[in-house]
Amino acid sequence: MDRAYKPIPGLCFSPTANTVRRSNRGTLVMSSARQHTGRVCPHQAAFLLDNWLRRILQPPQKILRKYVKQGDTVVDLGCGPGFFTIPMARLVGAEGAVVAVDLQPAMLAQVRRKAVRYGLTGRITCHACQPERIGLALAADFILAWYMVHETPDPGVFFGEVRSLLKTDGRLLVVEPKMHVSRAGFETQQAEAEAAGLVRLAPWRGRMSRGMVLGRA
């Protein structure tokens, strides 16, 4: 995995890439034969995902405490550098468990370092996945997919696998950035989630974002 993904700052790339082109904005973009246009946020840009400004704009504890309680098993899909993973680990408490999932080992390395720094290693497990397969077997009370579904090669397949990881009454929170996902694009994601056996239970509203809470249909 480490050798497979070597993103360069400013370079958007697709994990299933096999061609390279220049985007309208002049950045290099790799795209796959399957027309996957998902671009993965490179680990070198992790500082954009975990900083004091974001904690003000998207306070993680405040956002998550509605969904995560003590003793829960929760999954942070596409966890990046752990902006939500660490607060989740605090919310589940000593009896709970957090699985942080990402396809970039360098992102998971940052999560591990933070888990050590904050004394949370006993509650956090890091899992390196493949772009098209999460590869977990568990029953989660809550799954978070924040700013990552648009980076997956096939959201329909992704939602199907996520459904299989949810407890019957488990909840999935999907949040996407407006700057990358249009209203129509988000509606398509919802349709793909519903086709995969999920149902939208409520909208989620936040600054600069589109979101929905889903459960098993």
Ligand X SMILES: C[S@@+](CC[C@H](N)C(=O)[O-])C[C@H]1O[C@@H](n2cnc3c(N)ncnc32)[C@H](O)[C@@H]1O
- What's the maximum distance between 2 C-alpha atoms anywhere in the chain? 49
Amino acid at 201: L
| C-alpha distance from residue 117 to each of 4, 110, 132 (Å) | 28, 11, 31
Contact 19, 13 (CB under 8 A): no
**Min. distance of Cβ 105 from ligand X in angstroms?**
10
**Min. distance of Cβ 53 from ligand X in angstroms?**
13
Residue 191 vs 208, nearer CB to ligand X? 208
Chosen residue from 86, 100, 129, 166 binding ligand X by CB under 6 A: 129
What is the 3 state secondary structure string of 162-178? HHHHEEEEEEEEEEEEC
Chosen residue from 12, 78, 86, 213 binding ligand X by CB under 6 A: 78
41 binds ligand X (CB under 6 A): yes
Distance CA(139)–CA(147), nearest Å, equals: 22
196 binds ligand X (CB under 6 A): no
Residue 71 vs 113, nearer CB to ligand X? 113
* C-alpha torsion sign, points 152, 157, 159, 165: negative
173 binds ligand X (CB under 6 A): no
Chosen residue from 64, 75, 92, 103 binding ligand X by CB under 6 A: 103
212 binds ligand X (CB under 6 A): no
Torsion of CA 179, 189, 210, 85, to 10 degrees: -90
Binding marks (x or -) toward ligand X, 133..162, rule CB under 6 A? -------------xxx--xx----------
Residues that bind ligand X (CB under 6 A): 40-41, 49, 77-80, 83, 101-104, 107, 129, 131, 146-148, 151-152
